Amino acid sequence: MNIAHAFSISYHPQTNGQVERFNATFASQIAKYCDPDRADWDVYLPSIVYAYNTSVHSTTKFTPYQLAFGRCPKSPFDSVSPTITLPPAHAFYPYLQRTRHLLTVQARENILKSQSRWKQRYNENRRNPFYRLDDLVYVQVCAGRAKLDARWLGPCTVIQLSGQQNYLVRDNLTGRTDWYHVSQLHPVVERHSY
């Protein structure tokens, strides 16, 4: 099936970008239609799914329905022709395969262009720090933090690198280790006493 299992860093939802983007879109749509008690959200699911699947996505420039079925979706507002013409059965499947292939190729190109634009925009003023083994860092506290609690934990020690963005860090007080994205780390600056 050609499936590769990928792990994500805790409290860094950008790792699962596509899934997290869908969840954010879907959750905001459900929230718009729910009653104040949030007891009737399931009633609106079919309408929300239909709206999502028939809307042109800014990244692909196609609707999910088009990419899945190789044609534009029918809307309840479309005019119905009195006569329906169907292609011969033996010709339809090759046509569908060819159409879906062309749509997929074009959507992939659109996605790559969009990703390139977003990457360029993100990287314009961003310089990720690079940490080496045994560097001291502070780790951003994401879970279970009250308003007045410290935002950073540490100092901690970098003990392993995975690429240029993920680091295995050991808490120097507890010995606990965990993976962190570079955006969740801050270098320890040693103060000199004069």
Tell me the pLDDT tens digit for each residue of 83-142: 877 778 888 889 889 999 999 999 999 999 998 998 888 778 777 788 999 999 999 887
Q: Of 6, 24, 12, 68, which is closest to residue 181 (Cα–Cα)?
A: 12
Predicted local distance difference test score (pLDDT) of residue 179: 93
**Other Cβ atoms within 10 Å of 15 Cβ, number:** 16
Predicted local distance difference test score (pLDDT) of residue 194: 61
Omega into 155 within 30° of 0, i.e. cis?
yes
Predicted local distance difference test score (pLDDT) of residue 128: 72
CB 145 within 8 A of CB 162: no
**Distance (Å, rounded) from C-alpha 150 to C-alpha 142?**
10
Tell me the three-class secondary structure of 55-75, residue by residue.
CCCCCCCCCHHHHHHCCCCCC
Residues above pLDDT 90, as percent of the chain: 34
Predicted local distance difference test score (pLDDT) of residue 193: 63
**pLDDT score of 64 more than 90:** yes
- Helix intervals (H) in the chain: 17-33, 45-53, 64-69, 89-123
CB 139 within 8 A of CB 180: yes
Higher per-residue pLDDT: 108 or 29: 108
Q: The whole model's pTM is what?
A: 0.57
Q: Rounding to the nearest 10 degrees, give the CA dihedral for residues 159, 164, 166, 170.
A: 20
Query: What number is the average pLDDT over the span 26-41?
Result: 78
Task: Map out the domains of the chain with their CATH numbers.
Answer: 13-76+90-124 (no CATH), 135-187 (2.30.30.140)
Tell me which of 47-56, 138-147, 160-169, 171-180 is least confident: 138-147
Give the SS3 label for residue 137: strand
**Other Cβ atoms within 10 Å of 104 Cβ, number:** 14
Amino acid letter for position 79: S
